[in-house]
Chains A and B, each alone.
Chain A
Amino acid sequence: MAQHKINYTQDGGLPVALTSIDKIVNWGRSNSLWALTYGLACCGIEMMASGASRYDFDRFGTIFRASPRQADVMIVAGTLTKKHAEFIKRLYDQMTEPRWVISMGSCANTGGMFNTYATVQGADRIIPVDLYLPGCAPRPETLQYGVMLLQKKIRANKAGRAQKAKRLM
């Protein structure tokens, strides 16, 4: 029977890496940002395109989940109506900490062109938003760039510090 002996210190390609806890935790968090499937309007089409093969969100470790319990980031993609406002708050509360929110497109940022009685004038009236993406609708490149910026924001924080619960009020 062949003897398999691995000499870990044989060459430079060590299967061992030294790092700090902060970096490894943030590396894990920032590179597996699972997004809550949250297409509300036409921005949702761009968000789906970002997940499909041409733009391939999986390269960034972003996989869309249909459950808020398994999601890290909520991408509010589209027009948030007043009827829907209570549900976005409920779904946000169901997400586990740490959690982030990307407001995608003009409608989610400010209400956009829907300056009407039925549209919430900005998703940040309901939930705290980390990142605002401009555009109507933003292209998939913009969304992916936004996720990359969010990754950077996550890496800039100390992972070990007590996570302060994000609250609007």
Chain B
Amino acid sequence: MRAYKPKGNVQAKPYYTDRYWKAPQVAKFDVESDEVFSADLAAIKSKFDVKEAFIQVEQMTVWINPSDIYEVLEFMRDELEYTQLSEMSAIDFLEQRDEFEIFYQMLSMSKRKRIRIKYSIKNGQAVDSISKLFRCADWSEREMYDMFGIEANGHEFMKRILMPYDWQGHPLLKTYPLQGDEFAAWYEVDKIYGKEARDIIGPELRDTAQVDRYDSERFARLGHEVPKGMDPDVEENKDKTQSYQEDGGVFMIKKLDKESSKVIDDPQR
């Protein structure tokens, strides 16, 4: 028998699917094609276990073991002249492999080369902090914790950096909804007014396409202010348009006369 496929939403399915489509990949090159990189890789390989190494877009990517990260970066900084940590963070591959990829982008100003150190950890594992090696990793590791929930062992101040301290959830996870979960939707109301204010203030209006037909009456148009509830487009309401100042003027203030005022409409003035 054939395997059963649910046919409930057969209408919603796209008509055509390309079974032979493969996601485009950036071309990988052998490390031997570059002298500097092959020398660097040989130096790293002599001390540490390297799982995989290749060149992509003129940068070398080196996969290592998670436990070696501090020593590898220290070795690269002190021996191989990769003195700068440009960037570090994590990538969420929880759905595919239940793991995170952690990357460290290193830059050598003297060699004019960039190397990306990578390793993967399982969900829930912690990484080793490198903030003692590079001061810039201090905030990057805090951001990694904030956005993904990956803690860095040995970090001095392992707290959130972007979101408030009492936030729940890690927003850069693929499972986190863009418009926020229940906690995020009521965060400011709960914090300032308390949970009992939810009914009074009401839920957030998230539908960007919603049109409220009363908005044209509730809100005036700039330069065409009419009394509340009046339509400024109707011909007999044209002369009811409110001017900025009251009729008769204000004490010691000259009334604005639109006819005698000069309108500057030349953008090149």
Contacts and interface: CB of A to CB of B under 8 A. Distances in A.
Contacts, number: 79
Interface of A: 17, 19, 23-24, 27, 31, 82-83, 85-86, 89, 110-111, 115-118, 120-122, 125-126, 132, 134, 142, 145, 148-149, 152, 155-156, 168-169
Nearest to A30: B250
A24 B200 contact: no
18 contacts: A23-B250, A24-B251, A83-B163, A85-B192, A117-B177, A117-B179, A117-B184, A118-B171, A118-B184, A125-B201, A126-B188, A132-B219, A145-B223, A145-B244, A149-B244, A152-B242, A169-B200, A169-B201
B206 A121 contact: yes
Interface in B135-192: 163-164, 171, 176-181, 184, 187-189, 191-192
A82 B197 CA distance: 16
B1 interface: no
A138 to B, nearest CB: 9
Nearest to A151: B244
Given A83-B163, A86-B192, A115 B208 contact: yes
Interface of B: 163-164, 171, 176-181, 184, 187-189, 191-193, 197, 200-201, 204-206, 208, 219, 222-223, 225, 242, 244-246, 250-253
Contacts of A83: 163-164
Contacts of B192: 85-86, 89, 126
